[in-house]
A = this chain, B = another copy of it.
Amino acid sequence: MTTAKAPLALVGAEPDDGYRLQEQIGFVLRKAHQRHVAIFASRIADLTPPQFAALARLHEVGEASQNQLGQMIAMDAATVKGVIDRLRSRGYVELKKHDTDKRLLLVSLTAAGHDAVEELIPLAKAITEETLAPLTAKEAAQFLRLLGRLA
């Protein structure tokens, strides 16, 4: 039996021993996300990515209850409420009660919100491009495809 504490020139058969944080998907995912958020902030200073996601989705679908919107942008009810509150205080969205179902609070873009989204969409595309800049076009497409399967 081998009594060596550390493998000397190991033959590639002992994958269990080393643990490197850099190889853990979560750690790298977190760092990539951080980098993206920084790029976003440098180009769109007055909105956060979640806020923009809410506006962009409302621009697509027109109107939704808070819960529905949350599902559409992967946010739980508590988080959505905070995001919508802040967007409302800036005049980008408005709330109104549903006609028949008194539980629902419908969210929609104001005119200002609509204008803001349309102005920001080109910037958002540029942000995606800058985030993917370290990759070639082919790699970026591959990456987006795989990332989509993990999300």
Contact = CB atoms under 8 A, between A and B. Distances in A.
Interface residues of A, number: 46
Contacts of A37: 26
Contacts of A150: 32, 35-36, 131-132, 134-135, 143
Given A19-B121, A26-B49, A56-B19, A74 B31 contact: yes
Interface stretch (A88-96, A103-111, A122-130): A122-130
Contact of A32 (B27, B127, B151): B151
A9 B37 CA distance: 36
The interface residues of chain A, by DSSP majority, are classed as: helix
A1 interface: no
A33 B33 contact: yes
A60 interface: yes
Contacts of A73: 21, 27
Contacts of A127: 24, 26
10 contacts: A19-B56, A19-B121, A21-B73, A22-B148, A28-B151, A32-B147, A32-B151, A33-B33, A35-B150, A135-B149
Q: Nearest 9 A-B pairs (CB), nearest first? A: A31-B151, A32-B151, A143-B146, A32-B150, A134-B149, A25-B128, A28-B151, A26-B36, A19-B121
Interface of A: 19, 21-37, 40, 49-50, 53, 56-57, 60, 73-74, 121, 124-125, 127-128, 131-132, 134-135, 139, 142-144, 146-151
